[in-house]
Structure 1
């Protein structure tokens, strides 16, 4: 049996409480043999032990590696790696991890112009600019062709209208006025036809331009020829959708104008109380339906659907997202309009200056030649600006389509899979590719390796 002080030392190490007697001693049989006095309060016992009244207070414990040792200097070392991590202790040399029980956040990949997750407004704008910059030949070139066609027709109509307006000044009878109004109305109808043609071609081109937009999501560049080749199978459905939307818009406008004419004929000026709400309601309905069907060209080209399937697909994708799409489209339209007006201001000033230099003393012939010159310059600059703004708007529309599919269909997961495997490098991401049709897991309907026969892990 350990005696005296040795017995008390052993008990003190084991955490036992040692009572201090009134006389500072105990009987021989309490902790060992003999009577041994306790250390005085505030003094250290032999061997360098910490004093009884000077124990470390709670909250002021020594740091790991600086714990006091009995009879010697601090010597505790960090535990050796045993394959188990302690959540509350950081490993020296490694950055602190997430709190216990919470997964570490990993940012989604961004292989191309946008991150592969649902997008924010700023990311849509930035992705649109990057898409145009990376595919300038295909997007800007195609938009420039359509804008140039429209600019040529608009220039012809403008010059013809000017010549007709000058001829009306020499009209002196009702017969001559009737003869002159025929060509004038024809040119007015031509102006409306040019606007309809531009809208029709723009609807088709919007579906074609979604090809470089979707490929830019995975950082795949698209040339002019490759874009039209990939969009080729969807050209006929695109023409059908464009014709259907254009015809529908014309019928609605004609119906509203016809009703307004009938009301004014029957009621006179009082019909204005009915015509104004009717026109405003028709405009709101036109905008609402137009935004609901805005993504039909993109769905036709990417998902290779038909006309009515594309319209139905667009209607479903925009469900519960109409106001968000409306806000983005409105802000982009305002931005584009401001940029176009800023560019057109110096063009108008330059046209006036050219007119003053070329024809300081205007006459009908010189005015016509000046008008032709200024019209050519303004339409050329307008076509350049219009091609850039149209490509930007089409890119925004394409990214809205990709964003809605990532939100509703989980397209981001499919795009990550395409990015990792490199499958279908010459196709359109998001379409019915070989990866989505043929790649299944487990292959051939087999069993999962970790699951018992006849069972599969829950989805």
Structure 2
């Protein structure tokens, strides 16, 4: 029985040789041509084999451009808005935050400016009062007068602390509100100032609750550490430093760790419409196995914001000093007070502007971290693609629950996203 020529083995599924005249040798003219072969992306056709040898695919006429045979085409994920619909990289988070602020300047920058202006006015008033109180110390001539002057001094110090707590409280609430324009920008939906607050209004009470819980929890923890340190110094003297120093460092580490674990709770409360407890639990679950990544992004963004703020404050300080020299070339108590008020107003106004921009940027980064965690753990990118294709709920918040009330497709206890098949939990 005739055998094919060496080098012409017949793989499985390949067309059989035709009639074999001339001693059983196959003839190229009688070999059937290859048909269209299925390939990923589009049907590909084989070119006719070259005479005198086997067919070798190559860059010649009839061979369409594309990936090697049997390999799928790479299709980039869609990017309808500020970020691509897939797990994000660090640069994409920063770029998405900048684009979000640019597209929603009125809602994001305006809201942050209101909060920063309130804090700047209060801090400016306390600063002016502290300076005037310090000048009154120069007229103190007895211990009784000093004791009387120390009361207002401690009151101003407590006021400064209270203002800082108030700004942190309002900032936590505003962080949850600003997730509305960020999530809508992912699908290229602009959000106005009024629309943002209208969408966030039903979630204000849970936001106030979680902000109060986080604020007072931090204050109680700080008070406990300070109280323990005072007791140790009272009982042990300077030797207590050996215990207080590690205790203080450990407290800072624990505070940062817990703060990052609960960082996306306001975003979860607004987008997923959860309560206070479920929002905190949801944040704890989303940040699991991603703490170091979140810490790195947050640290870099904080350093960037701090450097930008310092660069802006340098010329402000120089301008304030120049104004003081022009307004009061021969300083006296009255002119110094008026100069202080003028420079304080200028510095607080510029500080509020800079603070509003930096706060809006940090809130955008935090919201995009939340969206990234949802895409990594819940497959949120699939749900966003569905919303993009169908165009459903154009006035809502993307990423929220889409199932009707009472539908088991949406878990009430902060479970996996509806796009996750029942019984399956996506890995981080």
User: TM-score, structure 1 length as denominator?
Assistant: 0.77
Q: What's 1:450 paired with?
A: none
SS of 1:152's equivalent?
Answer: helix
Distance in 2 (alpha carbons) for counterparts of 1:231 and 1:95: 53
Q: What's 1:117 paired with?
A: 86
**Aligned equivalent of 1:294, options 247, 257, 263:** 263
Q: 1:62-101 counterparts in 2 under 5 A? A: 85=44, 89=57, 92=61, 95-101=64-70
What's the offset of the Cα at 1:96?
Answer: 2.4
Distance in 2 (alpha carbons) for counterparts of 1:436 and 1:352: 62
Q: What's 2:23 paired with?
A: 16
Contact 2:36 2:45 (8 Å CA) reproduced: no
Distance in 1 (alpha carbons) for counterparts of 2:317 and 2:199: 40
Change (3 A) 1:106 1:266: same
Contact 2:35 2:45 (8 Å CA) reproduced: no
Change (3 A) 1:331 1:82: closer
Contact 1:424 1:433 (8 Å CA) reproduced: no
**Aligned equivalent of 1:378, options 322, 347, 362:** 347
Q: 1:21-32 counterparts in 2 under 5 A? A: none
Distance in 1 (alpha carbons) for counterparts of 2:65 and 2:298: 43
Contact 1:424 1:434 (8 Å CA) reproduced: no
Distance in 2 (alpha carbons) for counterparts of 1:309 and 1:245: 14
Q: What's 1:433 paired with?
A: 402
What's the offset of the Cα at 1:439?
Answer: 12
Q: What's 2:286 paired with?
A: 317
What's the offset of the Cα at 1:192?
Answer: 0.3
Q: What's 1:443 paired with?
A: none
Q: 1:55-454 counterparts in 2 under 5 A? A: 85=44, 89=57, 92=61, 95-433=64-402
Unaligned runs of 5+ in 2: 1-19, 47-55, 410-428
Change (3 A) 1:340 1:93: farther
Distance in 2 (alpha carbons) for counterparts of 1:430 and 1:129: 21
Unaligned runs of 5+ in 1: 1-12, 19-66, 70-75, 441-459
Change (3 A) 1:112 1:272: same
What's the offset of the Cα at 1:17?
Answer: 8.7
SS of 2:139's equivalent?
Answer: coil
Contact 1:423 1:435 (8 Å CA) reproduced: no
Distance in 2 (alpha carbons) for counterparts of 1:216 and 1:373: 40
What's the offset of the Cα at 1:425?
Answer: 0.3
Distance in 2 (alpha carbons) for counterparts of 1:195 and 1:93: 72
Distance in 2 (alpha carbons) for counterparts of 1:371 and 1:119: 47
Contact 2:57 2:63 (8 Å CA) reproduced: no
Distance in 2 (alpha carbons) for counterparts of 1:439 and 1:275: 52
Q: What's 1:53 paired with?
A: none
SS of 1:169's equivalent?
Answer: helix
Residue by residue over 1:59-111, the C-alpha shift from the partner in whole angstroms, topping out at 9 and shown as x without a partner, is xxxxxxxx999xxxxxx9x9787997457747846642222332221110000
Residue by residue over 1:36-62, the C-alpha shift from the partner in whole angstroms, topping out at 9 and shown as x without a partner, is xxxxxxxxxxxxxxxxxxxxxxxxxxx
Structure ID, larger Rg: 1
Which 4+ residue blocks in structure 1 deviate beyond 2 angstroms? Answer: 13-18, 78-102, 433-440
Measured on the aligned residues, the alpha-carbon RMSD in Å equals: 2.6
Residue by residue over 1:360-390, the C-alpha shift from the partner in whole angstroms, topping out at 9 and shown as x without a partner, is 1111111110010000000000000000000
Distance in 2 (alpha carbons) for counterparts of 1:172 and 1:17: 125
Instruction: Name the count of aligned residue pairs.
Output: 376
What's the offset of the Cα at 1:171?
Answer: 0.4
User: TM-score, structure 2 length as denominator?
Assistant: 0.83
Contact 2:112 2:359 (8 Å CA) reproduced: yes
Change (3 A) 1:288 1:192: same
